[in-house]
């Protein structure tokens, strides 16, 4: 069954908390408390559609002057990744104020054949590739996904084992071995991608969480945090608690390209018992940090309330969880999971914090401002067959017409690189956008578009990322691309708006409105330009179209019996003109004596009619060569004259 794609990462709140400097004095920033990785997740089988990241910060209440320096960077670029960004001003949280960002992003399909929301192994929420070979092309796909363990998705078994040993060793050094519990590592991916979370269950070896990793962003060998169990509460140790400097980054790429088939919009995705954290980064603390000295640490207490709205075929409902924390400054807390029913989606989420003595909770992540796109929210209503506990995941895919049938455009529409160049009605004649078994308006496949080049808005013509933090295209008819600074590159006004080159073409086809437009008497421009354009449209074929046709015929020919015969004959013909003079080799091996070559000859191969320099037949060979040359020339010329004559006289071609 064709399926796949809702790459809706979510159901997870990855709230990253860190200091934002503007309202903090340097010494205050140096004493910030960071609460990280509030990670509720959907239940196994749910579709995660929401990832949020927020930032809160507060100066430590420590009177001991313990410094936790430079918690100054927080999920940089997060706002650029989000389809909705809400800036929050957190006042009074933990006794101070700071600006914070709460970010939400969601996506609907970064590319076909990339993901579907299915229950993965170990009951961990994950995104899985389609096993339909029709969608696993080219170079991507993972038809044998189901036979792989989650860990193997990350790296090969041996490498995984090695990595586990390194991690466990590091964890042992920092965590209490008497309290084996879930350990969460928060590695920071390369290329400035925000970090995510990898869960690691020391009590159940082998239950490494899912990890997806973009092939161009190897797992960072540094910036790994350990989250230990402290009093039954998973608590993150200050950064960088663990540094795996010796980890071979190159090996991290193993299997991610060939097995995982990463969605180019994902830096990587991690999922586990504490929830999935994707591109949002979870907790990214950059800069040195110092472990607090034993005893005397200031304790910060409070209650975090994480709530989400879920929606499925049965309607909307609320899920909420409270988490009371009591941690030392500089440490982090991980609240419990908050999940929707299997197969449902989360449509908004929020986080509040209630400190002791407070009557009104502080809003850390405002759910009113952090809902999913309307197009996503209405999906369970429009396509109920794709949601719910028993539903099969549906894919958004682009298809093209081919000989009366619709065929897939493949992974990320890579097989239809020019589709965005088309305009109506050719566009809808040749392409259609499908979600599950439903045909959508073609504009819904705008996520497969690119301005002139490339396949996806965030990739270049080679498929490489233009910017790892660029936003993910929305499920709507508009192509929105952003520079790394968040400025829009191209914001078409209408569904089906065209890339720049198409717009340029349109300008060439009609009079320039500023110079010789319709309002200016200029019949030449009025008539000539449109006619030129029409002629060009009619008679100048697109290279891609011709190449496609040629490729189709060539492939059919090469696999056909006549093609195979021709190829066989072509292989017989020598590449260079034979010019040897040693004669025809003849093997005497069957007559060879036991002790050496046959007949006492120096070799088992004798040559018939050798005519090299010094051979007795060499003068005769020259004469025969001349005689044959003359004969061939005469016969050839006679044949060609006969052919031409037959053509002129109207007869058949002469032999």
Nearer to other proteins, 258 or 625 (CB): 625
Among 87, 314, 541, 596, binds other proteins (CB under 8 A): 541
Q: Pick the closest to residue 87 from 472, 281, 308, 369 (CA basis).
A: 369
Q: What b/e sequence results for 336-346 when a residue is b if at least 16 CB atoms lie within 10 Å of its CB, and e otherwise? A: bbbbbbbbbbb
Judged by CB under 8 A, which stretch of 149-157, 209-217, 379-387, 547-555 contacts other proteins?
547-555
Omega cis (within 30) before 425: yes
H-run or E-run covering 538: helix 529-539
Pairing of strands 12-13, 51-53: parallel
Q: Note whether 538 binds other proteins by CB under 8 A.
A: yes
Contacts of residue 409, defined as CB under 8 A and 6 or more positions apart, other chains included, come to: 112, 397, 398, 399, 400, 415, 416, 419, 431, 448
CB of 506 to other proteins, least distance (A): 16
Which of 198, 201, 207 is CA-nearest to residue 252?
198
- Window contacting other proteins (CB under 8 A); options: 79-87, 236-244, 472-480, 575-583: 575-583
Burial of 264: CB neighbours in 10 Å, binned 0-12, 13-18, 19+: buried
**Range in contact with other proteins (rule: CB under 8 A) among 95-103, 165-173, 256-264, 574-582:** 574-582
Q: Using CB under 8 A, pick the residue from 1, 527, 531, 640 that binds other proteins.
A: 640
> CB 601 → other proteins: shortest distance, Å?
17
User: Of 71-90, which residues contact other proteins (CB under 8 A)?
Assistant: none
Stretch that binds other proteins, among 99-107, 435-443, 458-466, 638-646 (CB under 8 A): 638-646
Please tell me whether residue 407 binds other proteins under the rule CB under 8 A: no
- Is 506 a binder of other proteins (CB under 8 A)? no
Half-sphere exposure of 575 (CA within 13 A, CB side): 1
Minimum distance from CB of 496 to other proteins (Å)?
A: 19
Residues in binding contact with other proteins, number by CB under 8 A: 59
Q: Answer yes or no whether residue 633 interacts with other proteins by CB under 8 A.
A: yes
The reply on whether position 611 binds other proteins by CB under 8 A is yes
Q: Please identify, among the stretches 79-87, 147-155, 525-533, 621-629, the one whose residues bind other proteins according to the rule CB under 8 A.
A: 621-629
Interaction between residue 429 and other proteins (CB under 8 A): no
Residue 314 backbone dihedrals phi, psi, to 5 degrees: -85, -5
CB atoms within 10 A of CB 50: 29
State the alpha helices, DSSP H only, in 359-455. 374-377, 379-382, 426-430
Q: What angle do CA 59, 61, 65 make, to 5 degrees?
A: 90
- Does 612 bind other proteins (CB under 8 A)? Our answer is yes
For other proteins, which residue of 585, 591, 593, 599 counts as binding (CB under 8 A)? Answer: 585
Q: Does 64 bind other proteins (CB under 8 A)?
A: no
Partner residues linked to 104 by β-bridges = 52, 84
Q: Quick one: tokens of 412?
A: 């990320």
User: Is the Cβ of residue 44 or residue 610 nearer to other proteins in the bound state?
Assistant: 610
Stretch that binds other proteins, among 223-231, 490-498, 503-511, 578-586 (CB under 8 A): 578-586
Residue 396 is encoded by which pair of tokens?
A: 């958004």
Positions of E strands within 368-503:
396-402, 405-408, 431-435, 438-440, 481-482, 488-490
Contact with other proteins (CB under 8 A): which of 553, 566, 591, 599? 553
437-496 residues in contact with other proteins (CB under 8 A) are none
Q: Which of residues 508-537 bind other proteins (CB under 8 A)?
A: 537
Q: Does 563 bind other proteins (CB under 8 A)?
A: yes
Q: How far is the CB of 615 from other proteins (least distance, A)?
A: 9
109/388 Cα distance (integer angstroms) = 19
CA distances from residue 345 to 6, 366, 396, 582 in whole angstroms, order as listed:
11, 18, 17, 80
Q: Should residue 653 be labelled a site residue for other proteins when binding is judged by CB under 8 A?
A: yes
Q: Does 643 bind other proteins (CB under 8 A)?
A: yes
Residues that bind other proteins (CB under 8 A): 537-542, 545-546, 549-550, 552-553, 556-557, 560-565, 568-569, 571-574, 577-585, 607, 609-612, 618, 621-622, 624-625, 628-629, 632-633, 635-636, 639-640, 643-644, 646-647, 653, 655
């Amino acid at each position: 069954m064709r399926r796949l794609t809702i790459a809706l990462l979510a159901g997870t709140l990855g709230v990253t908390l860190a200091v934002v400097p503007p309202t903090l004095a340097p010494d205050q920033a140096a004493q910030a408390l960071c609460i990280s990785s509030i990670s509720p997740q959907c239940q196994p089988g749910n579709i995660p559609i929401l990832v949020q990241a927020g930032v809160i910060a507060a100066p430590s209440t420590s009177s001991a002057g313990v410094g936790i320096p430079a918690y100054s960077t927080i999920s940089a670029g997060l706002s650029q990744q989000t389809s909705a960004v809400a800036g929050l001003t957190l006042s009074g949280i933990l006794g101070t104020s700071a600006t914070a960002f709460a970010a939400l992003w969601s996506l609907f399909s970064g590319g076909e054949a990339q993901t579907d929301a299915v229950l993965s192994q170990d009951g961990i929420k994950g995104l899985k590739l389609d096993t339909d070979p029709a969608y696993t092309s080219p170079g991507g796909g993972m038809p044998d996904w189901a036979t792989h363990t989650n860990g193997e998705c990350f790296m090969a078994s041996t490498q995984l084992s090695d990595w586990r040993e390194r991690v466990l060793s590091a964890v042992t050094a920092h965590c209490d071995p008497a309290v084996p519990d879930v350990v969460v590592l928060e590695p920071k991916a390369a290329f400035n991608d925000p970090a995510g979370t990898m869960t690691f269950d020391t009590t159940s070896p082998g239950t490494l969480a899912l990890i997806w990793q973009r092939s161009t962003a190897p797992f960072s060998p540094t910036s790994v945090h350990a989250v230990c169990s402290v009093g039954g509460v998973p608590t993150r140790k200050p950064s960088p608690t663990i540094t795996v400097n010796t980890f071979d980054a190159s090996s991290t790429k193993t299997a991610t390209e060939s097995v995982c088939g990463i969605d180019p919009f994902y830096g990587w995705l991690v999922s586990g018992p504490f929830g999935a954290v994707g591109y949002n980064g979870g907790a990214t603390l950059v800069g040195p940090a110092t472990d607090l000295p034993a005893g005397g640490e200031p304790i910060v207490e409070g209650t975090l309330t994480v709530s989400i709205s879920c929606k499925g075929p049965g309607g909307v409902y609320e899920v909420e969880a409270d988490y009371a924390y009591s941690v030392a400054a500089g440490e982090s807390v991980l609240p419990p999971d908050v999940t929707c029913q299997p197969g449902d989606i989360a449509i908004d989420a929020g986080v509040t914090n209630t400190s002791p003595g407070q009557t009104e909770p502080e809003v850390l992540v405002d759910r009113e401002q952090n809902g999913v796109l309307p197009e996503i929210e209405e999906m369970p209503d429009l396509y109920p067959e794709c949601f719910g506990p028993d539903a099969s995941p549906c894919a958004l895919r682009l298809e093209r017409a081919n000989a009366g049938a619709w065929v897939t455009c493949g992974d990320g529409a890579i097989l239809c690189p020019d589709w965005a160049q088309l305009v109506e009605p050719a566009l809808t004649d040749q392409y259609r956008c499908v979600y599950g078994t439903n045909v959508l308006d073609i504009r819904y496949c705008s996520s497969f578009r690119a301005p002139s080049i490339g396949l996806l808005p965030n990739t270049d013509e080679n498929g490489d990322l233009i910017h790892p933090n660029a936003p993910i295209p929305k499920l709507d008819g508009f192509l929105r691309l952003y520079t790394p600074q968040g400025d829009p590159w191209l914001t078409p006004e209408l569904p089906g708006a065209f890339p720049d080159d198409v717009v340029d073409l349109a300008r060439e086809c009609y009079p320039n409105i500023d110079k010789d437009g319709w309002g200016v008497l200029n019949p030449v421009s009025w008539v000539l330009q449109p006619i030129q354009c029409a002629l060009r449209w009619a008679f100048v074929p697109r290279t891609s179209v011709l190449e496609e046709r040629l490729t189709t015929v060539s492939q059919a020919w090469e696999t056909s019996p006549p093609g195979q015969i021709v190829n066989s004959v072509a292989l017989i013909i020598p590449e260079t003109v034979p010019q040897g003079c040693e004669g025809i080799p003849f093997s005497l091996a069957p007559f060879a004596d036991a002790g050496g070559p046959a007949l006492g000859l120096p070799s088992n191969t004798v040559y018939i009619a050798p005519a090299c320099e010094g051979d007795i037949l060499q003068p005769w060979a020259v004469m025969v060569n001349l005689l044959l040359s003359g004969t061939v020339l005469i016969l050839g010329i006679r044949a060609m004259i006969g052919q031409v004559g037959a053509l002129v006289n109207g007869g058949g071609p002469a032999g």
